[in-house]
Amino acid sequence: MSALKFSRKQLGIPYAIFLALFVVLPLLLIILYAFTVENSAVITNDVSKFSFSLENFKNFFTQSSNIRAIYISFGLAIVTTAICLVIAYPVAYILARSEMRQKNILLLLIILPMWINFVLRTAAMKELLFKIGFYDSNRLSFLNTLIGMVYDYLPFTILPLYSVLIKLDKNVLEASADLGANDLQTFFKVVVPLSNPGIVSAVTMVLLPTTTSYVISDTLGNGNVTIIGKLIENQFSTMFDWHAGSAIAMILLIIIFITMIFTNKFSDVESENVRGGGLW
Amino acid sequence: MVKKFFKGGYIFLALAFLYAPIFLLIVYSFNLSPDIGVWSEEWGLNLYRDLFTNQDIIQTVVNTLVLALLASTLSTVLGTIGAIGIFYSKQRTNKVLMGITNIPVINAEIVTAVSIALVCTMMAFGRTYASLLIGHIVLCFPFVVLSVIPKLKQLDSNLYEAALDLGATPTKALYSVILPEILPGIFSGFMLAVTLSLDDYIVTTFTKPATFETISTYVYNAYAKGGKSSSAPALRALSTIIFLVIVAVVLIKNFTSKKKENN
């Protein structure tokens, strides 16, 4: 029996080697870089010339602009996620519950933008904000970034919600009505709790990218919005201090890890493949 | 009746929000004004002519497509091998491999990007096409694994054993029994990989050679600089074409899958 299974298991070996080289090792390198500094002034990237230091972390936490970037990242991400949910939930609910013949076409129209290049969509939003005059004022930079984030991630919020709501048993809603609940009570006490897995996967799909992906804030923020992802990019691309950049990356990793433990408590193990769920 | 009107209206507003920027680009792709927001009296196809004569943009489009196809093909092979390997290994190995596979999915793209850049520098091939390809594979392969594993779960485990009992070698059984059954999962994983690769900016910008541009990095460079709406109006024409191609692909896909259902 075990001899028969061997040939399938063997396929795991080259795969495990790839994982070790390009998933595990890179993360270990981040940790190594984060806890070390270069001895010489020039960048050597020679591991033997590194020396242990906590300086990278100290420098990060003593600069108020960095702390501000963390606040901005999470503030923007949380507000974006909330707005996306508030806009997307009714859309998903109406579509899932409707008997409309055009339902499939409407759903298709909603997920169509997901295929268009993300940077291109953000660029299109910039053109629109230019057209309506929002981009001219520096005071609106945060609003512009927020609009862009909601715009980019709205389809990603609608889809997981829809796929949960479509499976909702009609009888449960009728039972709730029979037991004397009005429409509003049924919605908040029956529909919303039952759609929790959809909400959780929508949140995980929006929250993390909006915290770290600096494409939107760079394109729409007119240089006024710096998020944590941008800090890492700055260290790597303009300051060329890979050690400081790795330290920020490691802080981000820890935050992600904590968030994952937190969200895992609420989500089913089976709701995998969130990013592409239902796309193909 | 009123309720229905509100529902329809709400969906319409959501769609209007999603499509307004795209339609604006399409309209302005026929207007000769250098900046959106300023109407020019002149209309024409000049931007499209610019697009097809601009060697940079043509090269960029070719780069993007070749990279996406290469990266997603390699990711699909790797992901399929991985999924089979993970699924048939012992429970503990299974858990460890699955956990590591999920890392690039959960991780922030910027962290994946810089970590790949670090490892490629350490292995002394720095920022070359190889590092770019590896970056894109790391980005895509977990989604192939995640698409193939459910198909393996659905697979009747007796089939493989039956094939062996009937005299097939394990390799032959793998090719002619398991592979055809999980093909739909492999295909959807491949398509997902293509979309992810086409969409990516952050990993690309950290791993690409200095002079290599994809659509994402090109558009980013043209737009991310503040002050102006865009430094390359011809990109409006490119966006319009990309949008139309995607609409066509989605419609064809929808049409063919409907046909299959009817049969």
Out of B11, B109, B174, name the one closest to residue A8 (CB): B174
Identity at A177, one-letter amino acid code? A
Across residues A7-20, what is the average pLDDT?
A: 85
What pLDDT band is residue A157 in, cutting at 50, 70 and 90?
very high
- The pLDDT of residue B174 is 84
User: Judged by CB atoms within 8 Å, which residues 209-238 of A form the interface with B?
Assistant: 209, 211-215, 218-219, 222-223, 229, 232-233, 236-237
Please state, in angstroms and as integers, the Cα–Cα distance from residue A118 to each residue in A114, A125, A209, B219, B220, following that order.
Answer: 8, 11, 12, 10, 10
- pLDDT at position A75, please? 93
Query: What is the model's pLDDT at position A273?
Result: 43
Chain B CB contacts of A90 under 8 Å are 10
Residue range A103-120: mean pLDDT, rounded: 84
> Per the domain annotation, does B117 fall within a domain?
yes
B1 domain residue, yes or no: no
Phi, psi for B176 (deg, rounded to 5): -100, -5
B257, HSE (Cβ side, Cα atoms, 13 Å)? 9
Burial tier of A47 (Cβ tally within 10 Å: 0-12, 13-18, 19+): exposed
Mutation pick from A8, A70, A129, A220 vs chain B, by most beta carbons of B within 10 Å, is A8
pLDDT digits (tens, 9 = 90+) for A193-243: 888 888 988 888 888 888 888 899 988 888 888 899 999 998 888 888 889
Please report residues of B whose CB lies closer than 8 A to that of A21.
119
- What is the reported pLDDT for A277? 44
Q: Which residue of A has its CA nearest to B11?
A: A91
CATH number for the domain whose boundaries are A79-226:
1.10.3720.10
> Which of A1, A22, A70 to probe the B interface (max B CBs under 10 A)?
A22
Show residues of chain B in contact with A237, CB under 8 Å. 206
Q: What is the pLDDT of residue A271?
A: 45
Chain B contact probe: residue of A45, A141, A273 with most B CBs at under 10 A: A273
* Domain range list for chain A: 79-226
Position B142 in a domain = yes
Read off the pLDDT of each residue in A130-138 and give the average, rounded to a whole number: 79
With respect to residue B103, please indicate whether it lies within any of the assigned structural domains.
yes
Q: What is the pLDDT of residue B116?
A: 93
What per-residue confidence (pLDDT) applies to B260?
Answer: 62
pLDDT at A275 over 70: no
Quick check: A54 pLDDT over 50? yes
Q: What CATH number should be reported for the domain holding residue B53?
A: 1.10.3720.10
Q: How far apart are CA A33 and CA B118, in angstroms?
A: 9
What's the structural domain count of chain B? 1
Task: Evaluate whether residue B185 is within a structural domain.
Answer: yes
Output the pLDDT for position A41: 65
Supply the pLDDT for residue A2: 43
Residue B115, both tokens = 């970590």
Q: Tell me, letter by letter, the H, E, C secondary structure of chain A.
A: CHHHHHHHHHCHHHHHHHHHHHHHHHHHHHHHHHCEEECCCCCCCCHHHEEECCHHHHHHHHCHHHHHHHHHHHHHHHHHHHHHHHHHHHHHHHHHHCCCCCHHHHHHHHHHHHHCCHHHHHHHHHHHHHHCCHHHCHHHHHHHHHHHHHHHHHHHHHHHHHHHHCCCCHHHHHHHHHCCCCHHHHHHHHHHHHCHHHHHHHHHHHHHHHHHCCHHHHHHCCCCCCCHHHHHHHHHHHCCCHHHHHHHHHHHHHHHHHHHHHHHCCCCCCCCCCCCCCCC
Interface with chain B: mutation pick from A36, A86, A98, A115, highest number of B CBs within 10 Å: A115
Contact B161 A4 (CB under 8 A): yes
In a domain, B211, yes or no: yes
User: Mind listing the pLDDT tens digit of every residue in chain B (263 residues)?
Assistant: 677 788 888 989 999 999 999 888 888 888 877 766 666 777 888 888 888 888 888 999 999 999 999 999 999 999 999 999 998 888 888 889 999 998 998 888 999 999 999 998 888 777 889 999 999 999 999 999 999 999 998 888 788 888 888 988 888 888 888 888 899 999 999 999 998 999 899 999 999 998 899 999 988 888 876 556 666 778 888 888 988 988 888 888 777 776 666 65
Q: What value of ipTM does the predicted structure carry?
A: 0.86
Domain around B249: 6-258
CB interface of A with B, residues 156-185, below 8 Å: none
Among the listed ranges A99-113, A141-155, B92-106, which one has the minimum average pLDDT value? Answer: A99-113
Check B192 against A120: CB less than 8 A apart: no
Identify all chain A residues contacting B256, using CB atoms and an 8 Å cutoff.
none
pLDDT at A143 over 60: yes
Closest CA to A56 of A275, A190, A241: A241
Q: Which residue of chain A has the CA closest to B121?
A: A45
Percentage of residues of chain A with pLDDT beyond 90: 29
Q: Which residues of A fall within a CB distance of 8 Å from B230? A: 123, 126-127
Residue in B249, B208, B64, B220 with CA at minimum distance from that of residue A120: B220
- Given a cut of 60, whether residue A267 has pLDDT beyond it is no
pLDDT value of residue B160: 84
pTM: 0.87
| Domain assignment of residue B263, yes or no | no
A133: pLDDT strictly greater than 60:
yes
Option in A22, A117, A229 nearest B119 (CB): A22
Please check whether residue B179 lies inside any domain of the structure: yes
Interface touch A117/B82, C-beta < 8 Å:
no
